[in-house]
Amino acid sequence: MDKGTREKAIEKIRKEILALKKSPLYKYRTKNKYIPVVGDGSLFAKMFFIGEAPGRKEAESGRPFQGSSGKLLNELLASAGIKREDVYITNIVNDRPPENRDPTPAEKKLYSPFLDRQIKIIQPKVIATLGRHSMEYIMTYFGLEDKLEPISTAHGKSFKIKSSYGEVDVVALYHPAVAIYNRNQKDTLITDFKIINKLVK
């Protein structure tokens, strides 16, 4: 799939989410003049990061990981020698839930097909889940339910899976936000991020 085809496919997703009136988050988005947050980064990325849902800054800019979690994500990528522009970053849920609450099971079910399509468009070698919600979804999607553990145990572990376009490594990571509330976790995240780089080389 060439660049133009990938751009059109991502734009199609963006338009579909923009018109997603059946979403319970649609009214909240339009009332606050928020923008759906699809993906951001290289359309040929070998590394694909999945967060949970946009916060206020993300919903205002239409780009994922723009607030304090985004700043920390940039630091973590840099610590592993990874350029942000070389990776692709998205979320399970593309609209901001009120008060930054966790996305509901119904919201994840509604928005996850857009995530599935982005994975097929980008065709990454490594899928890194940021936090519990994306870890549980991706591991279940790829038939790894029996390997599911709490994020406190699963973080830093990688699993090989077969996708429609070839072999992929799935890596479970803490969400960068944990290091905002608990600075001790930053060292853990730095260590875990180095694993991703090794998998791509």
CA–CA distances in Å: residue 38 to residues 41, 46, 72, 177:
10, 18, 20, 20
Contact 94, 16 (CB under 8 A): no
Q: Is 49 helix (H, G, I), strand (E, B) or coil?
A: strand
Q: Is 78 helix (H, G, I), strand (E, B) or coil?
A: helix
Distance in Å from the first CA to the final CA of the chain: 22
**Mean pLDDT of all residues in 79-105:** 96
Residue whose C-alpha is closest to residue 92's, from 82, 103, 81, 78: 103
With a pLDDT cut of 70, the percent of the chain lying above it is 100
pLDDT of residue 200: 83
pLDDT of residue 169: 96
CA–CA distances in Å: residue 138 to residues 7, 52, 79, 122:
23, 12, 25, 16
Does 201 have pLDDT greater than 80?
no
Residue 201 CA to residue 194 CA, distance in Å, equals 11
* φ, ψ for residue 176, nearest 5 deg: -55, -25
Q: How confident is the model at residue 181 (pLDDT cuts 50, 70, 90)?
A: confident
pLDDT of residue 138: 95
What average pLDDT does the structure give for the chain?
A: 95
Q: How confident is the model at residue 180 (pLDDT cuts 50, 70, 90)?
A: confident
The residue type of 119 is I
pLDDT of residue 184: 85
Q: The tokens 């065709």 sit on which residue? A: 123
Where on the phi/psi map is residue 2: left (φ > 0), alpha (ψ -120 to 50), or beta? Answer: beta
Q: How confident is the model at residue 72 (pLDDT cuts 50, 70, 90)?
A: very high
The 10s digit of each residue's pLDDT in 95-131 is: 999 998 999 999 999 999 999 999 999 999 999 999 9
pLDDT of residue 198: 87
How many Cβ atoms are within 10 Å of 49's Cβ, its own excluded? Answer: 30
Residue 174 CA to residue 186 CA, distance in Å, equals 10
Q: How confident is the model at residue 183 (pLDDT cuts 50, 70, 90)?
A: confident
pLDDT of residue 100: 87
CA–CA distances in Å: residue 192 to residues 18, 155, 175, 187, 197:
34, 7, 11, 9, 10
The 10s digit of each residue's pLDDT in 3-52 is: 999 999 999 999 999 999 999 999 999 999 999 999 999 999 999 999 99
